[in-house]
């Protein structure tokens, strides 16, 4: 049985999903979504320990998907970290208003991303127990 924590990576760019998966996979099970709608469905069905979410995606953008996850009884406690190329302060504020836990801009440092993943996944485990 796989007892690794699960992280959902939602990004419409395959390259970014693969890059993030390579960084996280030694320690975490990585789930992938290529659009916001898929992310909401996977979060609901799989209950990941953390969601890393791009903002600019098809079907549902990251803000809308984050809001949907944070306003669903099944998924409201899952931390959502926005992982995006959009670094404007207004976007950070809107992400927080939609329920995002944190905001990381691309390009990101792989070690910083791994540290954040460990931090938020550990916090969820601590609040769940």
The conformational region for residue 5 under phi > 0 = left, psi -120 to 50 = alpha, else beta, is: beta
Strands 50-53 and 80-84, sheet pairing: parallel
Pair of tokens at residue 26? 């030694």
In 10 A of CB 113, how many CB atoms? 19
- Tell me, what's the pLDDT at 18? 96
Please say if the pLDDT value at position 12 is more than 90: yes
In 10 A of CB 62, how many CB atoms? 30
pLDDT by residue (tens digit) across 14-73?
Answer: 999 999 999 999 999 999 999 999 999 999 999 999 999 999 999 999 999 999 999 999
Measured CA to CA, the distance from residue 77 to residue 72 in angstroms comes to 9
Please say if the pLDDT value at position 87 is more than 80: no
Please give the CATH topology (third level) of the domain spanning 6-128.
Rossmann fold (3.40.50)
Query: What single string gives the DSSP state of each residue in 43-86?
Result: HHHH--SEEEE-SS-SSS-HHHHHHHHHTSTTTTTS-EEEEES-
- Tell me, what's the pLDDT at 127? 63
Query: Could you tell me the pLDDT band of residue 120, with boundaries at 50, 70 and 90?
Result: confident
- Contact (Cβ atoms closer than 8 angstroms) between residue 25 and residue 66: no
Query: Could you tell me the pLDDT band of residue 91, with boundaries at 50, 70 and 90?
Result: confident
- Tell me, what's the pLDDT at 1? 46
Please say if the pLDDT value at position 7 is more than 60: yes
- The alpha carbon dihedral of 116, 118, 120, 123 has a sign of negative
Domain residue ranges of the chain, discontinuous segments joined by +: 6-128
Closest alpha carbon to 97 in 86, 105, 89? 89
């Amino acid at each position: 049985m796989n007892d690794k924590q699960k992280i959902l990576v939602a990004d419409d760019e395959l390259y970014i999903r693969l890059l993030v998966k390579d960084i996280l996979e030694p320690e975490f099970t990585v789930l992938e979504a290529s659009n916001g709608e898929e992310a909401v469905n996977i979060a609901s069905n799989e209950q990941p320990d953390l969601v890393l979410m791009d903002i600019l995606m098809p079907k549902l953008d990251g803000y809308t998907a984050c809001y949907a996850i944070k306003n669903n009884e099944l998924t409201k406690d899952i931390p959502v970290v926005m992982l995006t190329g959009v670094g404007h302060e207004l976007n950070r504020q809107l992400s927080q208003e939609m329920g995002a836990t944190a905001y990381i801009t691309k390009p990101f440092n792989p070690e910083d991303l791994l540290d954040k993943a460990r931090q938020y996944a550990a916090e969820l485990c601590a609040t769940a127990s």
